[in-house]
Amino acid sequence: MQSSASLKNAIAAFMSRLSLNMDVLKNYIQDKYYRLVAILGLGGIGKTTLAKKLAQQLKDQFQYVIWYSLCNCPPITDTLADLIKSISSQQREELSDNVDEKIEHLIKYLQDSRCLLILDNFESVLQSSSIPEQYLRGYQGYSELIKRVGESSHQSCLTLKKHIALSQKWG
């Protein structure tokens, strides 16, 4: 059994690693060069907690900080419509049904305002056992969203969080 001193040391080491991760992530997100940041880790390791702290600490540097959970597997069109609605301050806009056009519309907002978009539970739209990762049937639009946000020129950052299975970590 571990002595209380060695347990304390282990907890201190863990906490200092967390704060180091936090500083690294903060630098990535603050730096306008990084338009996409992924936080990956085993289930329950503290990704959501870390991202909430980051959002809190960085909120003054962004005009919009939007937290969006994919845990109920929303179709990409719903996600895009909700994100656009949040960034456009709930304005009612006629949105195309076309996913590409909606992504383009969102990117215009990401160019006009500095936004921090956080997509939590990203693993929900992926097939759980496939390596390399594949999207659920009908969810390929998320891949296009990630690709276009990463490739387009804008001043915002999309952060996605997903847990990885042990087999993916060590495999």
Ligand X SMILES: Nc1ncnc2c1ncn2[C@@H]1O[C@H](COP(=O)(O)OP(=O)(O)OP(=O)(O)O)[C@@H](O)[C@H]1O
Residue 18 binding result from Mg ion, ligand X, none, given CB thresholds of 5 to 8 Å by partner type: ligand X
Rule CB under 6 A: is residue 44 a binding residue for ligand X?
Answer: yes
Q: Which residue, among 152, 170, 157, has the nearest Cα to 51 in the 3D structure?
A: 157
* Burial tier of 54 (Cβ tally within 10 Å: 0-12, 13-18, 19+): buried
Q: Which residue has the tokens 């600490």?
A: 57
Q: Which residue has the tokens 């946000």?
A: 149
Residue 75 binding result from Mg ion, ligand X, none, given CB thresholds of 5 to 8 Å by partner type: none
Q: What is the dihedral of CA 68, 156, 63, 24, to 10 degrees?
A: 80
The residue within the footprint of ligand X, chosen from 7, 23, 38, 43 (CB under 6 A), is 43
Rule CB under 6 A: is residue 132 a binding residue for ligand X?
Answer: no
Stretch that binds ligand X, among 25-33, 38-46, 108-116, 143-151 (CB under 6 A): 38-46
C-alpha to C-alpha distance for 164 and 136, rounded to whole angstroms: 16
Rule CB under 6 A: is residue 22 a binding residue for ligand X?
Answer: no
Stretch that binds ligand X, among 37-45, 58-66, 75-83, 102-110 (CB under 6 A): 37-45
Rule CB under 6 A: is residue 55 a binding residue for ligand X?
Answer: no
| Backbone torsion region of residue 113, taken as left when φ is above 0, otherwise alpha when ψ lies between -120 and 50, otherwise beta | beta
Looking at residues 34 to 93 of the shown chain, list those that interact with Mg ion (rule: CB under 5 A). 47-48
What is the identity of the amino acid at 65?
V
Q: Which residues bind Mg ion (CB under 5 A)?
A: 47-48
Q: Which residues bind ligand X (CB under 6 A)?
A: 18, 41, 43-49, 163
